[in-house]
Structure 1
Amino acid sequence: MTSLENKVLQCASGEKRLNPDELRQYFGTYAERVVLAVLLENAEKKTVIEHFPLILKELLAVYPNLSLKLSPNLSDQTQFTYIKDAQTLSISATIVDEAKAHSPYGIVVHSDKAENPDKVLFSELYPDILAPKQTEQTVEKKGFFAKLFGK
């Protein structure tokens, strides 16, 4: 009977986790361990998927013990691609589906200890990857009379 009473008391007092909202946001890890966080809409972009293996290699050189956590809201093909990239570098990859989690992130890369980097958002660390490439600048051609009269 005491185990039932203990269970009722635990449920009434709330969760036993420290910072449960932070844990939900970062797929079960603390913010100070996160070294890269990619927003859900950016994680589906082709340029991010193409550059991700190189980015993981760079992060692995700085932070030796990394883990990759993926949102269940990513498409199956995208999840498979990220998991395959992580496995080639011997990084553990997990799809985290917590019932009450409402994370804006599609990918969270974290270390096994507190790292506290200044910037963790993909859009801040790699803005050139997300920016559209400007290959041809549109040059307005001037006609004969515009050249003649300087307009």
Structure 2
Amino acid sequence: MNKKLDDYLQEGIYGAKEQHPEERRLFLGTLRERVELALTKGQVIRQTPYEINMALQKNVKMLLNGDVAYSYLSPYIKFANEKNISFTIVQNEKGNSPFGLVLTHDQAVDTTDIYIRDEIFHAEIPTTLQ
């Protein structure tokens, strides 16, 4: 069987091949190169929500982890609505991401440091990702 036909059949049976699936699971469905800011679950559930105005640029989208209780996501959803930012609550059945909120773009922005490196971050994120 020729390669193109085999690929077509495999895609029909199993769906399109996903590029960088581990990275996408980690960052709630997007790629690291597109991320402007990522907050851990612990950072999202802290009593005082983070001020994320500094990370807002045009065409940013907010991804929220569906594993986090809605009551903790609510201040960020309210903020997104006030700033006209689209958001999606991501149910990540295939993986358990440590991130609770990701601000992302449709294209690569290659932001150097996407984390707020506080005590919560260091307690939750393995040193390999820091």
2:76 is aligned with 1:75: no
1:89 and 1:17, CA in 2 relative to 1: closer, same or farther beyond 3 A? same
Q: Contact 1:39/1:107 (CA < 8 Å) preserved in 2?
A: yes
Q: Contact 1:39/1:122 (CA < 8 Å) preserved in 2?
A: no
TM-score, normalised relative to structure 2: 0.76
Aligned to 2:100: 106
Measured in 2, the distance between the counterparts of 1:26 and 1:94 equals 13
- Number of residue pairs aligned between Structure 1 and Structure 2: 114
2:88 alignment partner, SS class: strand
- 1:16 offset after TM fit, Å? 0.5
Task: Report the aligned-residue RMSD.
Answer: 2.5
Amino acid at match of 1:38: L
- 1:8 offset after TM fit, Å? 8.5
Question: 1:123-138 counterparts in 2 under 5 A?
Answer: 123=117, 127=118
Q: Which runs of 5+ in 1 are unaligned?
A: 1-5, 131-151
TM-score, normalised relative to structure 1: 0.66
Aligned to 1:27: 28
2:41 is aligned with 1:45: no
Measured in 2, the distance between the counterparts of 1:8 and 1:115 equals 30
**In structure 1, which of residues 90, 93, 103 is the aligned counterpart of residue 87 of structure 2?**
93
Deviations 1:56-106 (A, max 9, x none): x3222xx31101011112121112221111110010111100220211101
Aligned to 1:18: 19
Q: Which has the larger helix fraction? A: 1
1:7 and 1:73, CA in 2 relative to 1: closer, same or farther beyond 3 A? same
Measured in 2, the distance between the counterparts of 1:90 and 1:9 equals 37
Amino acid at match of 2:102: V
Structure with greater Cα Rg: 1
Q: Which runs of 5+ in 2 are unaligned?
A: 1-8, 122-130
